Structure 1
Amino acid sequence: MESVNNGSQVVQPEKNEKAHKTTWDQEMRDLFKGKELKPEEATCRPMSEEAPRLYRIWDVSQKTIILTNNMLIATSRNSNEPEQLIRVLPNTNLDPKKQPIFMSPSDKHTLSCIKSGSRPQLQLAEENIVKLSKKGEELLNFSFYSKTDGSVETCSFESAEFPGWFLSTSLEPNKPVGLSQQGGTENTLFYFERKELHMFTLP
């Protein structure tokens, strides 16, 4: 997310760039607008054709999230990696007040939360985010409750399957993105910037 690979030219953003002009809650209110349905309407809801929204996401330590070797890594923003965008779609089968979303770093993978040993773990499941959003199921393991958190410029992503566990990054660079509880040593707050689809060729 540090750089945008535009053909042969790599464009570096300004260090003090403004991440966005709206809060995450404002983004989500717009995303969920008109999608709240009455229970009796849920079974006959038409399949959505809406394309995922695209976001550049980086943590409060200025590490960007990239997909490499089928793994999400948080790396220093001064790297020369092409910009990684996260696809976001609403999960309309959960409480919209909690702003539940699906998150995907590629067309073939979606973030999922599973239990591994004594604690939840983040994994990349081979699922297409658009197909998931059309299933009409709660899909808690693929869902994150999102909100403005920490400041008006940052947000957090809480596992719907494992309440109290949040998308997180290590303080050290080049470590896998995982799940952690807030109040520990890991970063659980993220900056974001919305991007337009026509500007990028997605993996």
Structure 2
Amino acid sequence: MGLKTELGKMVLASAMCFRLTDAVLKAVYVQNDQLLAGTPPGGYGAQEGAEVSMVPNRYVDGNLSPVILGVEAGQRCLSCGTAEEPVLKLEAVDIMDLYHHGDPSNRFTFLRRRSGATSRFESAMFPGWFLCSPPGEDQPLSLSRQPPDASLGFIDFSLQLCS
């Protein structure tokens, strides 16, 4: 991650890189055009999960901690879709383009809620809907209202910087 100057402001030259694990340490990884949580092909552990790119959304109030998340070197970004109900999907859009030019619909923007060592990611377009890891192994992540208990999923994620 580097910084450069743009009209007198410091801006990111590249996205920050993290690996995500859910509350029970399932790694987040990409397979068949989906984000899954569980044991990635090749072994278990955060080092085996997908590299998740993250940039702030500079066009939303910074006090809300708005972020844009991507995978595959930031070439595919997490989206809530445009339907009446949110549907988590990966869309072919460059994370740095969104960083520099904004996300007018907010479908790529998540509000990062930190709590100790974990974070929750709430959809900016669909308030009250969170990135959610399923209770089972190797199942797709989704967007969900805050689950009342862990049998329905996990919305707390740990982030580890990529090495």
* TM-score, scaled to structure 2: 0.82
Structure having the larger proportion of residues in helix: 1
Secondary structure at the counterpart of residue 188 of structure 1: coil
Aligned-residue CA RMSD (Å):
2.6
Cα distance change on mapping 1:48 and 1:58 into 2, 3 Å: same
Provide structure 2 residue ranges, at least 5 long, that are not aligned to the other structure: 2-6
Residue number among 124, 127, 132 corresponding to 1:163 in the alignment: 127
**What are the within-5 Å matches in structure 2 for residues 17-166 of structure 1?**
48=11, 50-76=13-39, 80=43, 82-107=48-73, 108-116=75-83, 119-149=85-115, 152-166=116-130
Which has the larger Rg? 1
Runs of 4+ deviating beyond 2 Å = 44-49, 76-79, 136-139
Secondary structure at the counterpart of residue 120 of structure 1: coil
Structure having the larger proportion of residues in strand: 2
After superposition, what is the alpha-carbon deviation per residue over 1:158-180, rounded to whole angstroms, capped at 9, x for unaligned? 00000000000110011111101
Letter in 2 for 1:181: R
Letter in 1 for 2:76: H
User: Number of matched residues?
Assistant: 152
Return the alpha-carbon distance in structure 2 between the equivalents of residues 45 and 137 of structure 1. 22
After superposition, what is the alpha-carbon deviation per residue over 1:115-152, rounded to whole angstroms, capped at 9, x for unaligned? 54x63110101101011111145441010000213xx1
Q: Does structure 1 residue 187 correspond to structure 2 residue 154?
A: yes
Amino-acid identity (%): 25
* TM-score, scaled to structure 1: 0.67
